[in-house]
């Protein structure tokens, strides 16, 4: 399982399906960017908790929608927008719990040292797929991800580092240069969030290959 091939396939899928992915996720990404800007304006650097709550509101919706779309396209189907959004909304409570636990564990890892944070991200990478596509409960999805990632850890880590680090650097650049300009900040954060779908696509690709080989 070659990380370069996985990244190439993920970027190719993203480019080929740019329009449906935009229709599917941009409304939620725009809402997230708007709310985050309001948090930044109101609380400044002290709005970390509110920023996390915004993420827990929006991230499960567009990520679940993305995974449902990926699964449908893998099976040769073209799902209806309303059906995908409806399924994502139904998954939101469980996904929000999973996102909160995962974020807490990753933040704990980064607070110890940077490296443990990325290691935890790799070990928990399959949890979202297991929750959305296999209907597992949050804790069961976390345990399942630990088991399923065995033998694929370095592939996951390489793909995560190659896609997440540039996205974080882009976010930092946008915040630094456009924090005082509402419209450019919101538009660029929305586009940055859209590009951050690529890590989820890459992890899904690995998940699909692992599932096929099981």
The dihedral built from the CA positions of residue 100, 106, 110 and 111, taken in this order, carries a sign that is positive
Q: Provide the pLDDT for residue 179.
A: 66
Q: Dump pLDDT digits (tens) for 63-110.
A: 999 999 999 999 988 889 999 999 999 999 999 999 999 988 888 877
Alpha helices in the chain, H assignment, sequence order: 3-16, 18-43, 48-74, 81-112, 114-123, 127-134, 138-148, 153-178, 182-195, 197-213
Name the residue ranges covered by the structural domains of the chain. Answer: 3-209
Among candidate residues 129, 124, 207, 119, the one with its CA nearest the CA of residue 157:
119
What's the Rg (C-alpha) of the chain?
Answer: 17
Q: Provide the pLDDT for residue 36.
A: 87
Q: Provide the pLDDT for residue 145.
A: 95
84 class by beta-carbon count within 10 Å (0-12 exposed, 13-18 middle, 19+ buried): buried
Q: Provide the pLDDT for residue 168.
A: 82
**Residues 6 or more apart in contact with residue 177 via CB below 8 angstroms:** none
Q: Does the global pTM surpass 0.85?
A: yes
Half-sphere exposure of 161 (CA within 13 A, CB side): 15
Q: 18: helix, coil or strand?
A: helix
Q: Provide the pLDDT for residue 186.
A: 87
Sites in the chain below the pLDDT cut of 70:
45-47, 113-115, 179-181, 214
Cβ atoms 118, 160 nearer than 8 A: yes
Distance CA 193, CA 61 (A): 13
């Amino acid at each position: 399982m070659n990380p370069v091939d996985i990244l190439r396939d993920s970027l190719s899928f993203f480019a080929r399906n740019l329009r449906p992915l935009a229709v599917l996720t941009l409304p939620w990404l725009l809402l997230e960017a708007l709310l985050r800007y309001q948090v930044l304006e109101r609380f400044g650097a002290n709005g970390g908790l509110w920023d996390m709550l915004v993420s827990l509101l929006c991230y499960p919706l567009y990520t679940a929608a993305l995974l449902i779309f990926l699964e449908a396209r893998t099976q040769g189907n073209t799902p209806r927008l309303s059906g995908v959004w409806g399924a994502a909304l139904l998954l939101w409570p469980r996904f929000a719990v999973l996102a909160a636990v995962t974020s807490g564990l990753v933040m704990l890892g980064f607070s110890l040292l940077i490296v443990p944070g990325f290691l935890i991200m790799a070990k928990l990478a399959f949890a979202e797929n297991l929750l959305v596509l296999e209907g597992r409960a949050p804790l069961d999805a976390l345990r399942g991800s630990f088991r399923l990632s065995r033998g694929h850890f370095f592939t996951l880590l390489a793909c995560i580092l190659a896609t997440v680090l540039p996205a974080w650097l882009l976010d930092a650049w946008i915040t630094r240069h456009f924090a005082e300009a509402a419209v450019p900040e919101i538009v660029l954060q929305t586009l940055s969030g859209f590009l951050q779908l690529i890590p989820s696509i890459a992890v899904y690709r690995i998940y699909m290959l692992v599932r096929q080989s099981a």
